[in-house]
Amino acid sequence: MSENQNLLAEQRRALILDEVRRRGGVRVNELTRKLGVSDMTVRRDLDALARQGVLEKVHGGAVPVVEASTHEPGFEAKSGLELTAKEDIARAAAELVAPGSAIALSGGTTTFALAHQLVDVPDLTVVTNSVRVADVFHAAQRTTGPRQGAATVVLTGGVRTPSDSLVGPVADQAIAALHFDVLFLGVHGISVEAGLSTPNLAEAETNRRLVQSARRVVVVADHTKWGVVGLSSFAALEQVDTLVTDAGLESGARSEVSEHLRRLVVAGEPDEGADI
């Protein structure tokens, strides 16, 4: 981490969280030196991250939270994490969307960011099981009024999860009857061994249906999702066409991804893969 007193709180907290996860714990005085800020600023940042449930404060510093494979954070808790990375990923993923195509967006904070990038893409048909994603498109229509080329949004029914996704038999049946060009899929965790996984069993089944109904599968996930394993796997890496991630993904993980996926897109870096 570089010393910079002008870092935004969001950026500073992301750096703190990365340091805690990488080292397994960090002291307040170490963070003040690395970030060039006061003890009080660091303690406020640690308080904010502890409220989000992503680290645990201990005497003189902080350690990572060891989460059970069944733990599912709520949408608000996840929405405050890796904001810059998610915006970068959303912009890169939006470039893969062709006007007039039928796409699906799963639940998640990264797909929520992607939805904001897609509201002006003409003639889209958007299938989603995310209440938050559907709200983005509906809010855009309320703001601008009826307009030619506005997205047609299909929101599945189902039972609402802590991440504001609709899952269960109703959602599964609706998705099974549909076919879309590209699925943009947010994930709880991704690894070589477990593939794509989630702590929610019902969401795993709904995600399986989404994958089965898509011609191409694009996973949108920041680097912190790599190596995380939830309770239930719903797709192998070989079922994914493209991973769109951020520059924080380490070189070793990039090599592993490249062995299993056709295309890796790192936001902000040249994309040498074939067009979707």
pLDDT over 80 at 271, yes or no: no
Question: How far, in whole angstroms, is CA 144 from its chain's centroid?
Answer: 28
Q: Is residue 239 part of a domain?
A: yes
Strand partners, 197: 189, 233
Q: Is residue 55 part of a domain?
A: yes
Q: Is residue 4 part of a domain?
A: no
Segment 62-85, tens digit of pLDDT: 887 765 444 455 544 555 555 788
* Dist CA 43 CA 66 (whole Å): 21
Q: Are 85 and 248 in contact (CB under 8 A)?
A: yes
Judge if 44 and 134 occupy the same domain.
no
Q: Percent of the chain scored above 90 by pLDDT?
A: 54
Judge if 255 and 156 occupy the same domain.
yes
Q: Which of 22-26, 47-51, 202-206 has the lowest mean pLDDT?
A: 22-26
264-268 long-range contacts (CB < 8 A, ≥24 apart) are: 265/92, 265/93, 265/96, 266/92, 267/85, 267/88, 267/89, 267/91, 267/92, 268/88, 268/92
Average pLDDT over residues 124-143: 92
DSSP conformation class of 157 = -
Q: Is residue 2 part of a domain?
A: no
Segment 230-270, tens digit of pLDDT: 889 999 999 999 999 999 898 999 999 999 999 999 998 88
Judge if 82 and 41 occupy the same domain.
no
Judge if 35 and 116 occupy the same domain.
no
Average pLDDT over residues 175-179: 95
* Dist CA 121 CA 119 (whole Å): 6
Boundary (domain end) residue, out of 66, 84, 114: 66
Boundary (domain end) residue, out of 46, 66, 86: 66
Q: Is residue 171 part of a domain?
A: yes
Residue the block writes with tokens 């970068």: 88
Average pLDDT over residues 106-111: 92
Judge if 45 and 144 occupy the same domain.
no
pLDDT over 70 at 4, yes or no: no
User: Can you give the residue range of the structural domain that contains 100?
Assistant: 76-266
Judge if 82 and 57 occupy the same domain.
no
Q: Which of 93-102, 174-183, 248-257, 264-273 has the lowest mean pLDDT?
A: 264-273
Judge if 140 and 179 occupy the same domain.
yes
Q: Is residue 53 part of a domain?
A: yes
Total number of domains in the chain: 2
Confidence class for position 129, pLDDT limits 50, 70, 90: very high
Q: Is residue 272 part of a domain?
A: no
pLDDT over 70 at 3, yes or no: no
Confidence class for position 276, pLDDT limits 50, 70, 90: very low
pLDDT over 50 at 92, yes or no: yes
Residue the block writes with tokens 């870092």: 7
DSSP conformation class of 262 = S
pTM: 0.72
Judge if 83 and 62 occupy the same domain.
no
Q: Which of 158-167, 183-192, 255-264 has the lowest mean pLDDT?
A: 158-167
Average pLDDT over residues 109-122: 94
Per-residue model confidence (pLDDT) at position 275: 46
Confidence class for position 185, pLDDT limits 50, 70, 90: very high
- CATH code of the domain covering residue 32: 1.10.10.10
Judge if 32 and 143 occupy the same domain.
no
Judge if 38 and 128 occupy the same domain.
no
Confidence class for position 5, pLDDT limits 50, 70, 90: very low
Per-residue model confidence (pLDDT) at position 66: 60
Judge if 103 and 154 occupy the same domain.
yes
* Dist CA 120 CA 140 (whole Å): 9
Q: Are 236 and 259 in contact (CB under 8 A)?
A: no
Average pLDDT over residues 115-127: 95
- CATH code of the domain covering residue 231: 3.40.50.1360
DSSP conformation class of 85 = H
Per-residue model confidence (pLDDT) at position 24: 77
Q: Is residue 232 part of a domain?
A: yes
Boundary (domain end) residue, out of 26, 42, 66: 66
Judge if 17 and 103 occupy the same domain.
no
Helical pair 83-94 and 9-23, crossing angle rounded to 10 deg: 100
